[in-house]
Amino acid sequence: MARLLVNGKTIKRFKTFFEEERGRENIFAIWGSAGFLEIAASNRSAAELLNAKRGQAVILTVDP
């Protein structure tokens, strides 16, 4: 299982489409159209929820 760590908060949800999170306020990761892994939140700002800033470290861990 893959996880992202941002400001001590763990993101475990990886989605293929934004529609999968409709109506929820959970933070999740999604591959954007430019090919980058994006952190998002439905109907909210993921940056605000995580208190994240540009250039801040994001740690990816993957269990074997």
2-29 residue pLDDT tens: 999 999 999 999 988 877 666 566 899 9
Domain count for the chain, please give it. 1
Question: Which alpha helices (H) appear in the chain, and where do they start and end?
Answer: 46-50
CATH of the domain at 53: 2.40.30.90
- β-pair type (2-6, 27-31): unpaired
Query: Could you list the residue range(s) of the whole structural domain that residue 33 is in?
Result: 2-62
pLDDT tier at 30, thresholds 50, 70, 90: very high
Predicted model pTM: 0.80
- Strand pairing of 27-31 and 14-15? parallel
Using the predicted structure, report yes or no on whether residue 56 has a pLDDT greater than 90.
yes
